[in-house]
Amino acid sequence: MKWHADPNFSTFRIGRRELVIHRDIASQSAQIMQKLGEITSAVEAGAGNRKSAYRLDLDGGVELFARRGRRGGMIASILNDVYFGMTPRPFTELALTIEAMRRGIPAAEPMGAMVEWIGPALYRGLFLTRAVRGMTLWEFVKTDDDPTVRRHVLEQARAAIDIMHTKGLFHADLNLHNLLVTQARDSFRVIIIDLDKSRLFDAPLSLAMRNANAARLVRSARKLDPSGKFLDASALSILNPEI
């Protein structure tokens, strides 16, 4: 999906930086740009799988979560956070996440994106969501040793994935780091994050695509937990009934 003007978002451009931000916090755009600029030049690593996650505290008690675009694999040692293209991925992800939430897919609320152009078709980017308190599914299964609670959370993760598939979203990088466990009153819910490489379709996903997503998730679990200490065969069968 490409970014198109949205009545709930405003666009600001200062120098090489282009910010699309939710109208609820548009009055704080200068502060947001400054803080995001500090992140793009920061030496300190952030949190998360690729050390790219940062929390932003704004005036008035507003809390945002910023994810800095960082490459993985061998190319990361060369380009790190530099991307090519005239259609920046953070803006594409913003459009896709807005539509995903409109469809009822449990995702973190998108609040904006910023691109810093460093040359023709070269940029660094950041994606913004409203801050959500919780931990990744991988962190959760390592922390909570109550089998009843663990099973409940895994079932919540499976339910979130089923909704995602029914609503037509294919997550190309579904793994235990991209499922966030949050408190929901006296229970838990699971939301899906990092839709950077995702695709939206106009119909529910085919069985083949659902199985591909589920298999990707199980591979990530086995890679993180090869001995099955935290996720045994029974737990994995909740995430993917096909195994």
225 is catalytic: no
* The two three-digit tokens of residue 8, written as one number: 């709930």
Taking residues 12-28, report their average pLDDT: 94
Does position 217 have pLDDT exceeding 60, yes or no? yes
State the pLDDT at residue 71. Answer: 61
Does position 166 have pLDDT exceeding 70, yes or no? yes
* The two three-digit tokens of residue 180, written as one number: 């966030």
* Band (162; pLDDT cuts 50, 70, 90): very high
Non-local (6+) Cβ contacts of 108 within 8 A are 65, 97, 129, 130, 132, 180, 191, 193
State the pLDDT at residue 213. Answer: 92
Q: What single DSSP character describes residue 41?
A: T
State the pLDDT at residue 53. Answer: 85
**Highest-confidence segment of 35-44, 74-83, 204-213:** 204-213
Taking residues 25-39, report their average pLDDT: 92
Strand order in the sheet with 187-192: 134-136, 179-184, 187-192
State the pLDDT at residue 61. Answer: 87
Q: Is 87 helix (H, G, I), strand (E, B) or coil?
A: coil
C-alpha dihedral, 225 to 234 to 212 to 141, nearest 10°: -40
Amino acid at 48: G
State the pLDDT at residue 82. Answer: 87
- Residues 176-199: pLDDT tens digits? 999 999 987 788 999 999 999 899
- Residues 53-100: pLDDT tens digits? 899 999 888 999 999 887 665 554 556 788 998 899 999 999 999 999
Rounded distance between C-alpha atoms, residue 201 and residue 99, angstroms: 11
Higher pLDDT among residues 238 and 185, named by residue: 238
Does position 49 have pLDDT exceeding 70, yes or no? no
State the pLDDT at residue 185. Answer: 79
Q: State how far the alpha carbon of 178 is from the alpha carbons of 42, 87, 195, in Å.
A: 24, 24, 9
* CB-neighbour burial class of residue 78 (10 A; exposed 0-12, middle 13-18, buried 19+): exposed
State the pLDDT at residue 78. Answer: 54
Secondary structure (DSSP) of 133-147: -EEEHHHHHHH---H
Higher pLDDT among residues 41 and 196, named by residue: 196
Rounded distance between C-alpha atoms, residue 48 and residue 141, angstroms: 16
- Of 145, 173, 196, 232, which one is the catalytic site residue? 173
